[in-house]
A and B are shown apart, each in its own frame.
Chain A
Amino acid sequence: MVKTEQAVLVFLIILPFLGSIIIGFFRSTARNNEAWFAGAVALFSLLLTIMLYPAITNGQAVQFSLPWLPMWGLNFTLRVDGFAWLFLLLITGIGFLIVIYARYYMDPADPVPRFFAFLLAFTGAMTGIVLSGNLLLLTAFWELTSIFSFLLIGYWYHNPSARDGARMSLIVTGFGGFALMIGVIMIGTIVGSFELDKVLKSGNIIRQSPLYVPALVCILLAAFTKSAQFPFHFWLPNAMSAPTPASAYLHSATMVKAGIFLLVRLWPVMAHTNIWFWLVCGAGVITLLIGSYFAMFQQDLKGLLAYSTISNLGLMTVLLGFSAPLACVAAIFHMVNHATFKASLFMAAGIIDHECGTRDLRKLSGLYRFMPYTGTLAIIAAAAMAGVPLLNGFLSKEMFFTQAALTINGNWLDNSMPFIATIAGLFTVTYSVRFIYGTFFGKPPQDLPATPHEPPHFMRLPIELLVFLCIAVGIAPSLSIGPFLANAVIAVIGPNAPPYSLALWHGFNAPVIMSLLALGGGLLFYIISRHYMQEHEGGPLFLPDLSGRRIFEKLLAAVSWKWARLARDLLGTRDLRVQIRWVLLCCFAAIALIMHGSWLWRGTQALLPVNLYFALLWLVGGFCAVFAAHTAKFHRLSSLVLLGGAGLVTCASFVWLSAPDLALTQLSVEIVTTVLLLLGLRWLPKRLSNPNPEPPGFKTYLRRGGDLALALIGGGGMAWLSYAIMTRPQDRTIARYFLSNAYNQAGGHNAVNVILVDFRGFDTMGEITVLAIVALSVYALLRRFRPAPESIGAPRQQQFQAEFDQKRSNGREGDSLRDYLAIPALMMHWLFPFIIAFALYLFFRGHDWPGGGFVAGITLSIGFILQYMASGTRLVESHLVILPLRWIGAGLLLAAGTGLGAWGFGYPFLTSFFRYLNIPLIGKTPIASALLFDAGVFCLVVGATILMLIALAHQSLRHYRIRHQSLPRQDEEEF
């Protein structure tokens, strides 16, 4: 039974995606409807999340699992515990507020439904990450967040910086997603399962495995790219080209925290090692310092907030790197606090941008008098960011300082941690003050693109709610966030989590001194350097050239342009012959590799005595093949005739060696192929050998010699392999089954035909479909066929004849042709009914004797071709209507219909049926449904063959018409 909580889990994933698809169908001019709809979806998700709360308290978890690809360990497992729930609350809660805010922020001129559709889909993907109970599933949702983040950053795709930022974030986070997949697969290999609850119980196995370090590196690459940790931090500031609601939601509150989420999720099983400390703390410290340092020098409000986000993410990473349970508590706590104050700051920045038309700190000042209410909210949120007491940021920053002051392992990084923390705190205070003082205080602004004023109340409502949370958590932490945090901590650390206190005052200790130093020093630093920060251009002081973006772009250009071109120049070729040579060489190498060590020669099978006539036959065959190869360049017709000779030898061998069906088919196909190639030769301008050829150069000899060697090796190899096979006795094969059951089960004497239409009918169905597709392709290609200009005119022989006919007294064009074809044409006419009868005969006897649909179909088409040859296209088509497309369609329908018919009787597709009927005069006859299937094959082969041949034959008519424009219009042909 699916419990209510499990149903809620599934619903939480499906709902946003479904909502996204529905919004996709809204008209792009609708403005309120989609906002209402998206708001309803987001609110409903929030309510569902709250509904889940009772089920996840005190270390409980809800799990729901559906097998997806169980043999690969991929199950659709959803799992929510206290930690996942807290994160889910952030996603759905802030998501709902963002929808309200976006309703007022977005310009009606933009395609707003697209924005909401992406936003909801992103919510779904993020929910998926949080709720995944299977690491592979998590990876899939992880990639989805990268994609929707890309789409949201590039929402204003007419803006080049939006496009570049979107591309950069996709490349960086997509690279991380790839690393995540590898890391997850390694973890799955170590643990033997991808299920999260199994993985979480296998900490010791994972940490002791030789794969631990590579898996850790891959997981950290994923987390660091997603959470913008050094050296991958540079994509986040560039992602600020996204609409501000998306920046607030994705690039501060939720998506960038997915990396932190992953680190916390795997913290119990991957932390507590030395390498974890160095990698995670190392990256975190650099990110923390760089982020806060760079933030001070930004001139763009959103840029300042972006670097501040980077620095805060670095802070959480450092905390997780400590591997101490209390540090982990602090990281989770700060994750929630940061989401609340940073989302409200982003929204405030968006309001300023919206109402003033700019977010440049150099232009903004003194806005407090225009928007006191928004100003107050922003000041409180910024104070939380700076770590001012009585606000939530103070509490988690205090916890951070406490952890930084503790000694963990006593190495230099650990020992310098208190100083690093204090400096980062100082920078944080400086940029927070700069954010507030620079925008809201000072002299009134000048030259703003718009006159600032307060935004509509509902645009401010989300900020009010978030700021209220900042204050509530800051003043009464254990009453507000306490229980939720406790559940999250139990879910991550386990029931033995150490006690921690959320009190405001722990006495006068090291963290308090650090906080005071940071606050006082930050203010002082701002006062000293405010003019420099305000006026300077380019990168920050001391590090103006450290631009991750520039390095990234250089790297991208190198990989996608320079290296690609180098690889193409080194390894690529446009010469098809070189490619074929490589294919052949690889084939030879593969066969040599397989046969290595067993250079077989003849086996033990008793051989058939050599028949002199058979040997002579093959002497002729070999001669034909070699000379066909020799003459193919300059004497195409002779080559074609010789090829026919080789085909006939093949056909005779089939007769000799007990394969009558093959012989029949080969013979008829040979005829059709030859006719087809002859028709084609008409459009291939003659290739004349140069009477005075230049002596071929050394390179030519080398090439020919190489080709000859390849051909000889290939031919010799084929001969050797086939001899080796033929001289070995055959083991028991599937043939025994077919032979024993062909009559009993399928009612046919001809085992080959029974295999084709019954035992392996599905294969044949595929084959005839291919045939139909090829015929249609030929037809389509020929509809727009433009022949070589040299061959548009009538062939030399025709011109000759026409000239001769005109010279004769009262002669008409075509007379001599009619004359010398008179007797053959008569014969061909008279043969027509016999050929039809013969085709039907071949068809009906196919199940028991050599014959069948394939050969009967080709025979019938030969009958039609003969009529064309005897009396010309026009005459035939005025008497005889052949609709090849209908034949093809009928054939496919008949074959598929026979197969489907079996369903009607409750059998699998293409099950055949037969019984004996006593027909008067003929006697006991087996009637098999396979005969109907064979009829489908027959029709299709007729249609396909005729379609191809006639389409080619019609080319001469078409170009004839082009030359004589005066011909009446009704001759317009289908072909």
Chain B
Amino acid sequence: MEIVLSSGIGIFAASGLWLILRPRTFQVIMGLSLLSYAVNLFIFATGRLKLDAAPILDTGKAIDPAAYTDPVPQSLVLTAIVIGFATTALFLVILLALRGLSGSDHVNGREPY
């Protein structure tokens, strides 16, 4: 499983980075979204992979921390997802305003010569 997930993270990151380096703003916003998937999964993966071990405590018996997956990266990623949405929205609006203002959707605000 680990090899699958890490290759997946790699593919997402590579596609995202490629897009971030492209000249058109829409490409960049797509790239940022893909890169944030990759980074979120990466942070999540630092908690190691476990099956059927959601951090929902069973208080019927004594709590064994080893029986659950690591909740810390999960809570980090949870807020990261929401903040990621907010930054995407902000970037989208800036992108639209830039297009209206400069007449170009090039990241530099003007078409290359």
Q: Chain A: residues with CB nearer than 8 A to chain B?
A: 574-577, 580-581, 584, 605, 607-611, 614-615, 618, 621-622, 625-626, 628-629, 632-633, 636, 639-640, 643, 646-647, 649-650, 653-654, 656-662, 665-666, 669, 672-673, 676-677, 680, 683-685, 687, 707-708, 710-712, 714-716, 718-723, 725-727, 730, 733-736, 738-740, 742-743, 749-752, 755-756, 760, 763-764, 767, 770-771, 774-775, 777-778, 781-782, 785-789, 848-850, 854, 858, 941, 944-945, 948, 952
Q: A609-B1, A711-B21 are in contact. Are A774 and B89 (CB under 8 A)?
A: yes
Contact partners of B85 in chain A: CB under 8 A: 669, 672-673, 676, 945
Contact partners of A723 in chain B: CB under 8 A: 2-3, 6
A684 engages B99 (CB within 8 Å)? yes
Q: What is the CB-to-nearest-CB distance from A571 to chain B, in angstroms, rounded to a whole number?
A: 18
Q: Chain B: residues with CB nearer than 8 A to chain A?
A: 1-24, 26-27, 29-31, 33-34, 37-38, 40-42, 44-59, 63, 65, 68-72, 74-75, 77-79, 81-90, 92-97, 99-101, 103, 105, 107-108
For A672, A718, A756, the residue with the greatest tally of chain B CB atoms inside 10 Å of its CB is A718
Distance between Cα atoms of A618 and B15 in the complex (Å): 14
| Apart from A727-B2, A774-B90: 12 A-B pairs, beta carbons within 8 A | A575-B108, A621-B11, A632-B24, A640-B30, A643-B33, A657-B51, A662-B81, A680-B96, A726-B2, A751-B71, A756-B78, A785-B100
B92 engages A676 (CB within 8 Å)? yes
Distance between Cα atoms of A36 and B69 in the complex (Å): 75
Distance between Cα atoms of A71 and B101 in the complex (Å): 52
Contact partners of B29 in chain A: CB under 8 A: 677
A786 engages B97 (CB within 8 Å)? yes
A610 engages B37 (CB within 8 Å)? no
Q: Can you name 19 A-B residue pairings with CB atoms under 8 Å?
A: A577-B21, A610-B3, A628-B34, A632-B26, A650-B41, A656-B51, A657-B44, A658-B51, A658-B54, A659-B54, A660-B54, A669-B84, A711-B15, A714-B13, A726-B49, A739-B63, A749-B57, A751-B57, A771-B82
Distance between Cα atoms of A725 and B49 in the complex (Å): 11
Smallest Cβ-Cβ distance to A771: which chain B residue: B86
B79 engages A767 (CB within 8 Å)? yes
B103 engages A752 (CB within 8 Å)? no
Contact partners of B71 in chain A: CB under 8 A: 735, 738-739, 742, 751-752, 755
Smallest Cβ-Cβ distance to B2: which chain A residue: A726
Q: A629-B15, A676-B89, A711-B17 are in contact. Are A749 and B59 (CB under 8 A)?
A: yes
The B interface is mostly helix, strand or loop, or mixed, namely helix
The A interface is mostly helix, strand or loop, or mixed, namely helix
Contact partners of A712 in chain B: CB under 8 A: 14
Distance between Cα atoms of A643 and B6 in the complex (Å): 19
A580 engages B6 (CB within 8 Å)? no
Q: What is the CB-to-nearest-CB distance from B99 to chain A, in angstroms, rounded to a whole number?
A: 5
Distance between Cα atoms of A782 and B97 in the complex (Å): 8
Q: A639-B30, A677-B29, A775-B86 are in contact. Are A607 and B10 (CB under 8 A)?
A: no
B86 engages A614 (CB within 8 Å)? no
A752 engages B55 (CB within 8 Å)? yes
Q: What is the CB-to-nearest-CB distance from B3 to chain A, in angstroms, rounded to a whole number?
A: 6
Q: A629-B18, A764-B79 are in contact. Are A676 and B88 (CB under 8 A)?
A: yes
Among A605, A643, A738, the residue within 8 A (CB) of B34 is: A643
Contact partners of B37 in chain A: CB under 8 A: 646-647, 650
Q: A577-B23, A628-B34, A672-B85 are in contact. Are A707 and B65 (CB under 8 A)?
A: no
Q: A718-B13, A771-B83 are in contact. Are A683 and B69 (CB under 8 A)?
A: no
Distance between Cα atoms of A718 and B37 in the complex (Å): 12
Q: What is the CB-to-nearest-CB distance from A458 to chain B, in angstroms, rounded to a whole number?
A: 63
